[in-house]
Structure 1
Amino acid sequence: MTLMEKEILQQPQVLKNCIDYNRQIFSEVSKAIKQKTITNVVIAARGSSNHAANYFKYAFESLAKIPVSLAAPGVNTMYNAELDLSSCLAIGVSQSGMAADVTAVLENGVKCGALTLSVTNNLESKMAKMTDFHLYCNAEKELSVAATKTFTAQMCLLGYLAAYHSQNDQVQKELTQIGDNLQNIFDLKPQIQDLAQKYKDLNSLIVLGRGTNYPIALETALKIQETTYINARACAASDFYHGPFAIVDQNTTTLLIAPAGNSQKDMQDLKEKLLGVGAKVLIITNQKQLAIGADGGIVYDLQGSDYITPFYNVVVAQMWACAMSLARGLNPDAPRGLQKVTITK
């Protein structure tokens, strides 16, 4: 079994551990947000962590009704600009806690008196020690280059913060139950392996999602890129109509992240349009009806709100990427040209 497979299977315990470890921190951060009258959030991250940050944007804005901006760290590191973040909550997300450009955004925040929060899997990292608060992934060391358990831990921590601050007990409860439900996804391994065998020779793939599952489309494309070397690209379903749809023809293969929920009708309409121009359509969904007419995909039997289905969808995607890598004779634990800790400035 590869390291990536092992770490995928560790996620039920990781998701439980990360919430349990940080319960007091959620309370303290929420209290500080209210005391400081925070009106904006700026969140900085790279790679998979940036996709977790994107999920947080959807969750925090829709639940807490406070605007969230995704930082461009190069503003600090390339242009030496210092932003006025004094009325903001500045968040940095990095599994290693060593991302230099993300650290620069936090340093900017500290200097101007912002409320600061880091989310890492490293208690001894600079980011963890420099911020007012730290949410610890508590995932043990991640050995595979492709992030799996640290990504879902980051999403879980950020989602729980959004639910806690907005006093949404239902979403908090659902987040604590995800780990118990993941065995239902793991049981789909034979179907996922069959899908990998069928599509192992793909040269390109377009991954589409909307709302809280748009970040999952981004993460799915990244996992496919780094483990299989397939030219996978992601796009928000709504943006896809603004130009990219023109590249679609009978030689195009797409993957829709399309669970039941707020984006269901939009994804159904997009599926029909893609099929109408002859594209191949794969789908990850929890609605059998949505899969009708698709060329293939994975249907899982778990329900949840738009804040919960991203976890199920991304675990399916992780398993498929790993299976595709192995089917292509590759090692998903050691992608060419990549290393576990990437230091960008």
Structure 2
Amino acid sequence: MCGIVGILGKGPVAAQLVDSLKRLEYRGYDSAGVATLDGGRILRRRAEGKLRNLEASLEKTPLGGAIGIGHTRWATHGAPTEANAHPHATERVAVVHNGIIENFRELRAELEAAGAVFQSQTDTEVVAHLVSKALEAGASPRAAVSQALGRLKGAFALAFIFAGEDDLIIGARRGSPLAIGHGEGENFLGSDAIALAPFTDAVTYLEDGDWVALTREGVEIFDETGAPAPRAAVRAAAAAIVVDKGNHRHFMAKEIAEQPEVVGHTLACFIDMAAGRIRLPDGADVDFSKLDRLAISACGTAYYAGLVARYWFEKFARLPVDIDIASEFRYREPPLSSGGLALVISQSGETADTLATLRHCRAQGMRIGAVVNVPTSTIAREADVVFPTVAGVEVGVASTKAFTCQLSVLAALAVKAGRDRGVLSEDDEAKLVSALVELPRLMAEALRLEPEIERLATTFAKAQDVLYLGRGTSFPIALEGALKLKEISYIHAEGYAAGELKHGPIALVDENVPVVVLAPYDPLFEKTASNMQEVAARGGKIVLVTDGEGPEHAGSAFAVLTLPKAYAFVSPMLYAIPVQLLAYHTAVFMGTDVDQPRNLAKSVTVE
């Protein structure tokens, strides 16, 4: 996850920028850079690799200036080279950026046609040229940024400095976090409170859609409509820790909110954003055309990710998939093909049953692929191929962001398999990749349902039983929703395939049983809506989670949660968000220990 720092200081800031960037190293990065204003001119230093390389560059050619921005980059568009490192700049503006600009190709073509000359392969440089063009047309820095934000599509955080403006930094967030640090005669901007801790413990967290103009004497915050939007400052005790809760009550809440950012960074490992194609990480390539079957194994939430992946691999690659709960895999004694591929999924990379499955498959001569969040874990070390999730540290025991990152990796692998096996054309791949690239923005929009979901949670907290229903890839999300509610609220919940309703579960339905129906408006919607009416006829409290035209068919639903319309391919990641939030707010209302629920551990390291 890229890291952003901005300083409006009282003296030279280059060394302070680097020190703050060091506090963001935990987010992961492959290049770094800083830009300052000295004598009104924008000056930059950038370097590939670790921050020590940037420090060496600054030692050789120091930067002056009491205002500056810094960045640690996780490459999305373009290789991790010095030319692609941030900040990106024109003579008028420098910018650092976290996230993805979805429409950068169209904007770049437009700007190049108008005479802009690009120096990098990144989407970020488009932002610099957009703002520069507005400045050249006579707009003020504030107006230029506001105009540019109106043209950008995606999920991102941005920070700008401007030539000749030594008392102004502008920041903006849409889907990626950004915080303001308040000082006396100086102010700061950062990806999180950890970066700001050396300077201040007074922090304001921007809300989604906000942008801010910082001077040394104060800050002006505006919402996405451009209206002034005062946000409260809080005290952040982040100086001595690596991960804090930010402005969230629990780690789980923070981790749910981080999903647009971490999913974007995970996808960047598997997608060539510029070309719109799948590109697996170095050393992680697999030729799916040589496989007759794929074996997937995992536990808990990771198992549900594997269930979704089965739909994808079989639909888009016509590759048969066997999937097992890891604790049952060896005891079922399935026949395994020597030379075949076993795919294991684990957040921690230390899950005992999953590790045992890995070793069992290896003993049968299979090649091992691991979808894992900890690259130094046992599973990662013992696998032949590692497909990394870039979820970052997940503190909450109930997995949230790790789950959607696992799904993102598996989705990319399914598209790769489809191309390898000749099932998907280049155009098919481009459409599916485009859907994945849009996902962080759509997830950020989905998070805006939180106030509705929080109100709904008061009803769920009174229930003794809750049912979750879904068809197709929504069925595993129904299972995951039920698991989340059980894990942290201790309410009994079950997930079912909607078509199974009349085969038993409907006997549980009465006016005291909430029934969550996950129904994207897709070819399966009508069948799921029919099941929903069967629930309504028996007095069940239906909570319909849908999109597009779905709300028009809600009937007598108790509540409707309307998600942004998305390509059906990515709906599992999107629909995970409301079920996570529903479980979270129900548990908070009931007063349970959300981050450390009873009887559970983050990593199950014994069988």
Q: What is the TM-score normalised by the length of structure 1?
A: 0.93
Counterpart among 280, 299, 323 of residue 70 in structure 1: 323
Q: Which moved more, 1:70-79 or 1:278-287?
A: 70-79
Which residue in 2 is equivalent to 1:53? Answer: 306
CA contact (8 A) 1:121 1:136 kept: yes
Counterpart among 365, 372, 391 of residue 139 in structure 1: 391
1:314 aligns with 2:576: yes
Which residue in 2 is equivalent to 1:92? Answer: 344
Which residue in 1 is equivalent to 2:382? Answer: 130
Q: Cα distance, 1:15 vs. partner?
A: 0.6
CA contact (8 A) 1:22 1:136 kept: no
Opposite residue 40 of structure 1, the aligned amino acid is R
The 5 A counterparts of 1:147-158 are 147-158=399-410
Which residue in 1 is equivalent to 2:266? Answer: 18
Which residue in 1 is equivalent to 2:595? Answer: 333
Which residue in 2 is equivalent to 1:190? Answer: 451
Q: Cα distance, 1:263 vs. partner?
A: 1.9
What is the distance in 1 between the residues matched to 2:587 and 2:328?
36
Listed as ranges, the gaps of 5+ residues in structure 2 are 1-248, 272-278, 420-428
Distance 1:289 1:28, change over 3 A: farther
1:38 aligns with 2:291: yes
What is the distance in 2 between the residues matched to 1:198 and 1:75?
36
Which residue in 2 is equivalent to 1:254? Answer: 515
Distance 1:28 1:38, change over 3 A: farther
SS at match of 1:235: strand
CA contact (8 A) 1:227 1:330 kept: yes
Using CA pairs below 8 Å that are at least 6 residues apart, which structure has the higher relative contact order?
A: 1
Q: Which moved more, 1:238-247 or 1:202-211?
A: 238-247
What is the distance in 2 between the residues matched to 1:96 and 1:33?
26
Q: Cα distance, 1:223 vs. partner?
A: 0.7
Write 1 or 2 for the structure with the bigger share of strand: 2
| Percent of matched pairs sharing the same residue | 28
Q: Cα distance, 1:87 vs. partner?
A: 4.9
SS at match of 2:467: strand
What is the distance in 2 between the residues matched to 1:223 and 1:87?
36
Q: What is the TM-score normalised by the length of structure 2?
A: 0.54
Cα deviation per residue 1:136-173 (whole Å; 9 max; x = unaligned)?
11111100111110000000100111122213221222
Which residue in 2 is equivalent to 1:4? Answer: 252
1:112 aligns with 2:369: no
CA contact (8 A) 2:269 2:281 kept: no
Distance 1:195 1:249, change over 3 A: closer
What is the distance in 2 between the residues matched to 1:100 and 1:123?
16
CA contact (8 A) 1:45 1:92 kept: yes
Q: Which moved more, 1:47-56 or 1:23-32?
A: 23-32
Cα deviation per residue 1:284-340 (whole Å; 9 max; x = unaligned)?
11121132320113122x112322111221101111111111111223111111111
What is the distance in 1 between the residues matched to 2:342 and 2:436?
24
Distance 1:290 1:160, change over 3 A: farther
What is the distance in 2 between the residues matched to 1:267 and 1:138?
34
Q: Cα distance, 1:30 vs. partner?
A: 5.9
SS at match of 1:307: helix
What is the distance in 2 between the residues matched to 1:114 and 1:237?
35
1:238 aligns with 2:499: yes
CA contact (8 A) 2:469 2:496 kept: yes
CA contact (8 A) 1:175 1:308 kept: yes
Which residue in 2 is equivalent to 1:284? Answer: 545
Cα deviation per residue 1:49-107 (whole Å; 9 max; x = unaligned)?
0010001001111111111111243456557x584232532000010011122122222
CA contact (8 A) 1:25 1:133 kept: no
What is the distance in 2 between the residues matched to 1:255 and 1:145?
23
Which residue in 1 is equivalent to 2:112? Answer: none
Opposite residue 255 of structure 2, the aligned amino acid is E
Listed as ranges, the gaps of 5+ residues in structure 1 are none
Opposite residue 523 of structure 2, the aligned amino acid is N
CA contact (8 A) 2:284 2:387 kept: no
What is the distance in 1 between the residues matched to 2:493 and 2:430?
37
Write 1 or 2 for the structure with the bigger share of helix: 1
Q: Cα distance, 1:28 vs. partner?
A: 6.5
